[in-house]
Structure 1
Amino acid sequence: MNLISKDFIRNIVPQLDLLNTLGGGIAQATMWIDKREKGVVVRVAAPSVSPENFHVVLNNNVLTVLAEFRHTPEDKLAAPLFSRTLNLPATLDLSRIDAVFEGQELQIRIPYRDAATEPREINIKQR
């Protein structure tokens, strides 16, 4: 006999996570930073957070990833679930940043700058 349906569990988990957050706790979000050959991938996994509730904000060289909870998409009131802030190094090309939600994970991809655009000292030749 199955007393609790899968739909009930699927609907109650975000509510419990929200109550935990409102009670002073935090949502169980996990963030990884993977260094790859062509750039950096910031990966964020948060249980029961849908893609439309994630927000990625880039302000100068500061990247903020946050998620909010809305009972329905039309709700004007949103409760914050989590927020993470990263200071990005100058070696990353912030003009080519993009974000993709794949599986149950948000991926923010930031390529490295072209080596030709990096400052370097020029040797002075004498004639």
Structure 2
Amino acid sequence: MTLIKRSYPVRNIERVNPFAPMFNDFLESMFNNNTMPDTSFKTPAVNVVENADGYAIELAVPGLKKDDFNIDLEKNTLTVSVEKENESKEEGKNYHRREFSYTSFKRSFNLPETVDVEKIGAEYKDGVLSLTIPKKEEAQLKAKQIKVS
């Protein structure tokens, strides 16, 4: 019996399993570099909803505290950012290897002229940062009855 080794280009593997490159990088880094790949999130998932009164933006950012967020408004651009270094110190241990975690991201949203920037609010609960952005009174849609003459 003869065994034939076949070599497939990476693109064929990706077509069969789109996660193959991620697993290859993971295994490569574990066995060759002795380090773990960076698994921290780069940009959080976002939901943006518009209703009659305004807008709601929700960012999925678990594991943070409300003091970790920087929310800035410059002109009509709302920017949410985080820069946090997670370092735990344990006294009395002789480490051969110790890894630090650093989390950072920055998301910007262009706001329309119709929002009331003085009333923007933010709340962080259960890993979700919720921003409420109300519309100005004149921009809110109101129902109106029109009489036929």
Whether these two folds match at TM > 0.5 is yes
Query: Does 2:35 match 1:35?
Result: no
TM-score where L is the length of structure 2: 0.53
* Runs of 5+ unmatched residues, structure 1: 1-15, 73-78, 117-127
Quick check: 2:71–2:80 contact (8 Å CA) kept in 1?
Answer: yes
Match of 1:83 among 93, 100, 106: 106
Q: Which has the higher strand share?
A: 1
Q: Distance in 2 between matches of 1:96 and 1:65?
A: 16
Higher Rg: 2
- Partner-residue secondary structure (3-state), 1:47: coil
Root-mean-square deviation over aligned CA pairs:
2.6
TM-score where L is the length of structure 1: 0.61
Query: Does 2:128 match 1:105?
Result: yes
1:32 partner letter: N
1:87 partner letter: N
What does residue 115 of structure 1 align with? 138
**How much identity, in percent, do the aligned residues show?**
26
Instruction: Describe how 1:24-63 pairs up with structure 2 within 5 A.
Output: 26-27=41-42, 29-63=44-78
* Structure 1 residue 27, shift from structure 2 partner: 2.7
2:72 partner letter: V
Aligned residues: 91
* Runs of 5+ unmatched residues, structure 2: 1-35, 88-101, 140-149
Q: Distance in 1 between matches of 2:85 and 2:132?
A: 26
* Structure 1 residue 52, shift from structure 2 partner: 1.6
1:84 partner letter: R
